[in-house]
Amino acid sequence: MANLQNSAPVHSGTALLGNYIMEWAASSGVLSSSAVNLGLGALTGFTETWEKYAAQEANGPAMIEGVATHTLQITFDLFEFWPVNFDNLRGGNFDVETASTSAAFHGTGASTGINAFSTGGKTTLSPGCIKLTNYSFNNGSTSETVIVVYKAYADAGMTLAIKTDSDTDPVNATQWTIIGKLDTARTKGDQLFKIETDLG
């Protein structure tokens, strides 16, 4: 029999299962009805980070210790090519996206129904607000866990995971990194993100 470190029964009603629905609003703050579902995707990482500071005089103990910077990194893959969502994630003023337009570079036979995404040029990045929702089925009922990051920015350019048509999973996912920063207009202790759950 396995030597279990925790001999008490695991409470399955508090287990966080499955992946998340991802929604983005183009302005920071509390998520509004203007938020859009980013489409089929998978949350791949969620990492809270803080850098500490300490004030120490001469050879005495540290008198003051605290958190200097407090951020959050989220990574996810999107499996649908939809330029409107890409533009929103990247600040809404960095790219040019058009849907159902005439093709400029397509070959013969593709003149309408084109989704186009173009980019290039210096600009400021505008924050948005991202909501991550997990629905899991526990003990015969559905539980909901919601994470809201109040002030979020795209942290890196788009990465396209290239696959061959004959791959066992041929979907070319776009990979995204989002950084959450403190929304100092909010109350201290509620400036980075919030997690709400009815698990347990």
Q: What is the pLDDT of residue 93?
A: 75
Q: What is the pLDDT of residue 123?
A: 81
Average pLDDT over residues 138-161: 87
Please check whether residue 159 lies inside any domain of the structure.
yes
Please check whether residue 181 lies inside any domain of the structure.
yes
Please check whether residue 116 lies inside any domain of the structure.
yes
Q: What is the DSSP string of 127-149?
A: PEEEEEEEEEEETTEEEEEEEEE
Range in 58-62, 130-134, 144-148, 186-190 with the lowest mean pLDDT: 58-62
Quote the CA–CA distance of 37 and 171 in Å, as a whole number.
19
Please check whether residue 87 lies inside any domain of the structure.
yes
Please check whether residue 60 lies inside any domain of the structure.
no
- The range of the structural domain enclosing residue 125 comes to 12-48+72-197
Please check whether residue 143 lies inside any domain of the structure.
yes
Q: Which pTM does this prediction carry?
A: 0.82
Domain count along the chain: 1
Phi-psi region of 92 (alpha: psi -120 to 50; beta: other; left: phi over 0): left
Please check whether residue 62 lies inside any domain of the structure.
no
